[in-house]
Amino acid sequence: MSAAPGLGLFRGAAGDLCRESLRRGGYGSLSAQKASQLVKKGRKLGIISASSSAGSSTESARDQNGGAALFPLSSVQSTLHRLRRAGIIACLRTTSADVALDAARAALDGGLTTVEVTMTTPSAAKIIDCLVREYPSATIGAGTVLSMQEAEVAKQAGAKFLTSPVTMEDMVRAHKDGPVLFIPGTMTPTEVVTAHCLGACAVKLFPVALLGGVQYALALQRTLPHIPLIVSSGISLDMVEPYFSAGVMAVIVSDAVFGKAALETRDYSKIKTLASAAASKCLSRSTET
């Protein structure tokens, strides 16, 4: 039996747990004792939240046909699963809070499911809070998080994930056990591995276009297949599929959806159209996997 999409997130002992649950058809076909053992093992590994139990109805990994839930995920792994499934993260950076909110709405209305609001955007926390309330099924995060204070503000606003252009040891360690996913920025193989060893579940490769683009990402992903990579900076919509083919977990796009001219003229219909085009790339990817 082939592995279910998304189970590539879990390797080693965690992967053994996934395969055990998959082989047996999920918790439902296990004895109460065995199900309890699997849940305890999952909690110890950090892939199942402490509040979950066998038979929990929380968000779960599913089989390759999108069928029955296999096991409940921790909040961090749930977010990681969502980002992998989404494929594209639309990064919003602007100097106007009003424009930022309406632009984010246009992107989500256009079909994208994941938006990142940079903390350099005026009233970023308020924008995140509004989006979380208005689009409960979307995954809203904060970008350019450079301090613990900014991280706390973003989390209080409801951000499900945080990204940074750099790796700060204290930030990675503070978020290692959740409940909010922190994705540090890296450039070199050494930085990627260091961030992962500190506890990062996924690592951002930034600025990928200046580092060598698709070929650089491909080389790193082949060398370090156990580390989920999210690429960022200078990525056009035409380059999304080549990055997917290189094996990266997700792609962060900015100007490709939130174009400078569209933001300046408040052309939200243009942003919505670009978001729809981006969403179609994700749909194409999901049907191929």
CA atoms within 13 A on the CB side of 191: 15
Closest CA to 74 of 8, 14, 140, 162: 14
Closest CA to 99 of 273, 259, 276, 277: 259
Closest CA to 115 of 127, 104, 99: 104
**Element housing 281 (H / E):** helix 268-288
Known catalytic membership, residue 116: yes
Length of the chain: 289
- Structure-block tokens of residue 90: 């639309």
* Cα 205 versus chain centre, distance: 13
Q: What is the sign, positive or negative, of the torsion defined by CA atoms of 175, 176, 178, 183?
A: positive
Give me the amino acid identity at 286.
S
- Structure-block tokens of residue 233: 């900076």
- Residue 69 CA to residue 79 CA, distance in Å, equals 16
SS3 246: coil
Catalytic site residue from 150, 155, 160, 204: 204
Does residue 184 come out as left (phi exceeding 0), alpha (psi in the -120 to 50 range) or beta?
A: beta
Query: Is there a contact between 19 and 38 (Cβ–Cβ < 8 Å)?
Result: no
SS3 60: strand
Known catalytic membership, residue 204: yes
Residues 6+ apart with CB under 8 A from 215: none
Catalytic residue annotation = 116, 204
